Amino acid sequence: MKIFKEIIFTQKECDNILKSNKKDNVIEEFQEYKERIENSVRKFRDDIFPPIFIFSWIIRYEKGEGGPWHIHRGIKEHSLSANIFLSGNPNVGIWIRDKNSGIETLHKNQIGQIIIMDCDVFHKPEINYSLRQRCVLGMTIHNINFHLE
């Protein structure tokens, strides 16, 4: 199973995203950042290429909060799950379950790092044991050309 990780945003750019008042489709407010996400998607899967639609939202976890195992709705082979760590303790990460072996691995985050996986890969945020709020940009990425066919 393939997981892609790359730092694509600076701390200042992450802070800019966190200032967004949008509930959904946050990245649409930052067109200058969308191209970097698209470049990372192409590095992960060269068969998913622009135009792509990025559905995005900011998730904020306080101390003691986490989330359940989940996948992102999409069409297998044409949709991806992704997240970008925006702020918080980098020692609190994301659990990813290998869809072949079932082995669960904790992936630590770095500020500005995108993690991309197929949409049918189960993952969950680790419980935030830190006093610092943990903020993540969650995303489901779709190949628009596929949906228009």
Residue 36 predicted with pLDDT over 70:
yes
Structure tokens at 45: 């899967």
Count other Cβ atoms within 10 Å, centred on residue 83. Answer: 21
CA-CA-CA-CA torsion for 62, 30, 33, 107, nearest 10 degrees? 20
Residue 148 predicted with pLDDT over 60:
no
Residue 146 host element (H or E): helix 144-148
Per-residue model confidence (pLDDT) at position 23: 83
The reported pTM is: 0.92
pLDDT tens string 81-104 = 999 999 999 999 999 999 999 999
Per-residue model confidence (pLDDT) at position 21: 86
- Paired with 125 in beta bridges are 94
Residue 149 predicted with pLDDT over 50:
no
Residue 39 predicted with pLDDT over 50:
yes
Structure tokens at 60: 């904020």
Residue 145 predicted with pLDDT over 80:
no
Residue 147 predicted with pLDDT over 70:
no
Residue 42 predicted with pLDDT over 70:
yes
Count other Cβ atoms within 10 Å, centred on residue 114. Answer: 23
Mean pLDDT of 8-25: 93
Most confident of 20-34, 49-63, 110-124, 135-149: 110-124
Per-residue model confidence (pLDDT) at position 3: 93
Per-residue model confidence (pLDDT) at position 73: 87
